[in-house]
């Protein structure tokens, strides 16, 4: 893909071969400069000059012989090296850009023409990026909702969120600065999930922004979270289509999470999941990270924990079939609901509301022998 049709011998004549360490007349066929792609999209590779004779000076000082430039630009920064099979290489410090001409040059010595090759990495062909989902995924949210998660089908360009996301009311009027605009946006490591925080100053009672501007959400009103299609993905392509999700605001939730009120449905068969249901929706990302299962000896059970639709419960499916016995559902006290309330404290409180709760709560359950 990257080498075919890329190598140029320029005007180097076969007559030059005797000047280069007495190479045979076929040396022009033996010398090759090529780009060896690496990484998920080929941009993290290196340039290689192959087929060099053992005495070629560049094997000891590759940085003096092999260089790479971009069109109308300076030479690239990077690292050089050589190998005993007669190869010298250059690895750029930064990934190569798509659709840009890169010219690799191998200097063969005085009196000879350099060997060059040109590499242009084509932009990968892929389906247009879409918004996969937005959380909370339910149709109602408390008026003190603290965060949203935006999930995309492919990595997105960072630093763009506040230009392409807006919140509008039922009359189509956009909310004024509803989000906490951070210099460093809160992306997960894959670049496909963004955490979007509502301005906490417009949630916490008794603080000036809430008193002066008012809340972002008011119970009984409808709102739409809009993501416009011009937001570029990591390849610079716009989204396939805009995205809209409507919510109805309900009264604020100012109660600590109480795992004792959860409904546990143990698996009836070895292949069934454990199903847990909550009285109110919780935070999807934290559900899937902080709710785990252990056996009677306290050993973690490997498996997949998925939030149920609307984040009003979860489903834990073990990696291997259940064995009859006693188990424990473990709940980290950092678990939150969409309004930021936890097991041990409230996000927004008048006075002290912190509970003396351990870092990990448990709920026992039993798996009976399969019928």
Rounded Cα gap, residues 233 and 164, in angstroms:
12
Give the pLDDT score at 12: 30
Query: What CATH number does residue 185 fall under?
Result: 2.60.40.1220
Do residues 158 and 56 share a domain?
no
* 126 located within any domain: no
The confidence score (pLDDT) of residue 235 equals 82
Residues 269 and 205 in one domain: no
> Could you tell me the CATH number of the domain that includes residue 325?
2.60.40.3710
Average pLDDT, the chain: 86
By the 8 A CB rule, do 219 and 249 touch?
A: yes
Domain that holds residue 167: 131-250
> Are 264 and 303 members of one domain?
yes
What region does 188 belong to: left with phi over 0, alpha with psi -120 to 50, or beta?
beta
Please indicate, yes or no, whether residues 180 and 148 belong to a single structural domain of this protein.
Answer: yes
Looking at the fold, whether 116 and 146 belong to one and the same domain comes out as no
Into how many domains does the chain fold?
3
- Any idea of the CA torsion for 179, 180, 186, 187, to the nearest 10 degrees? 20
* CA neighbor of 277 nearest in space, from 259, 290, 256: 259
pLDDT, residue 25, reads 28
- pLDDT tens profile 179-208: 999 999 999 988 999 999 999 988 888 776
Integer-rounded Cα Rg, in Å, for the chain is 30
pTM of the predicted structure, to 2 decimals:
0.66
Higher-confidence residue of 304 and 110: namely 304
* Residue 320 and residue 298 share a domain: yes
Examine the domain organization and report whether 213 and 283 are in the same domain: no
């Amino acid at each position: 893909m990257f080498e075919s049709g890329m190598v140029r011998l320029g005007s180097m004549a076969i007559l030059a071969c005797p000047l280069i360490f007495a190479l045979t007349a076929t040396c022009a066929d033996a010398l090759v400069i090529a780009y060896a792609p690496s990484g998920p999209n080929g941009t993290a590779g290196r340039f290689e000059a192959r087929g060099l004779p053992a005495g070629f000076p560049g094997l000891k000082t590759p940085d003096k012989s092999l260089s790479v430039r971009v069109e109308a630009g300076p030479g690239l920064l990077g690292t050089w090296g050589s190998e005993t099979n007669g190869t010298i290489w250059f690895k750029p410090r930064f990934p190569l850009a798509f659709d840009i001409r890169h010219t690799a040059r191998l200097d063969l010595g005085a009196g000879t023409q350099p060997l060059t090759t040109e590499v242009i990495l084509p932009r990968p062909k892929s389906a247009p990026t879409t918004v996969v989902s937005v959380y909370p995924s339910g149709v109602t949210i408390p008026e003190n909702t603290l965060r949203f998660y935006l999930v995309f089908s492919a990595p997105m360009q960072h630093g763009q969120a506040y230009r392409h996301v807006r919140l509008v009311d039922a009359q189509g009027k956009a909310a004024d600065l509803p989000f906490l605009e951070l210099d460093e946006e809160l992306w997960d490591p894959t670049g496909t999930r963004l955490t979007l925080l509502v301005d906490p100053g417009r949630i916490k009672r008794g603080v000036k922004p809430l008193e002066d501007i008012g809340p972002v959400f008011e119970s009984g009103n409808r709102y739409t979270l809009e993501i416009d299609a011009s937001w570029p993905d990591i390849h610079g392509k716009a989204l396939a289509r805009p995205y809209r999700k409507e919510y109805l605001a309900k009264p604020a939730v100012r109660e600590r999470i109480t795992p004792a009120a959860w409904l546990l449905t143990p698996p009836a068969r070895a292949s069934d999941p454990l199903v847990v249901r909550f009285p109110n929706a919780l935070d999807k990302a934290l559900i899937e990270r902080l709710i785990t299962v252990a056996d009677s000896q306290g050993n973690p059970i490997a498996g997949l924990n998925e939030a149920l639709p609307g984040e009003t419960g979860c489903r834990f499916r073990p990696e291997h079939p259940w064995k009859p016995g006693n188990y424990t559902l473990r709940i980290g006290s950092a678990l939150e609901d969409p309004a930021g309330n936890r097991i041990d404290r409230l996000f927004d409180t008048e006075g002290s509301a912190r509970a003396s709760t351990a870092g990990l709560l448990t709920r026992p359950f039993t798996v009976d022998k399969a019928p």
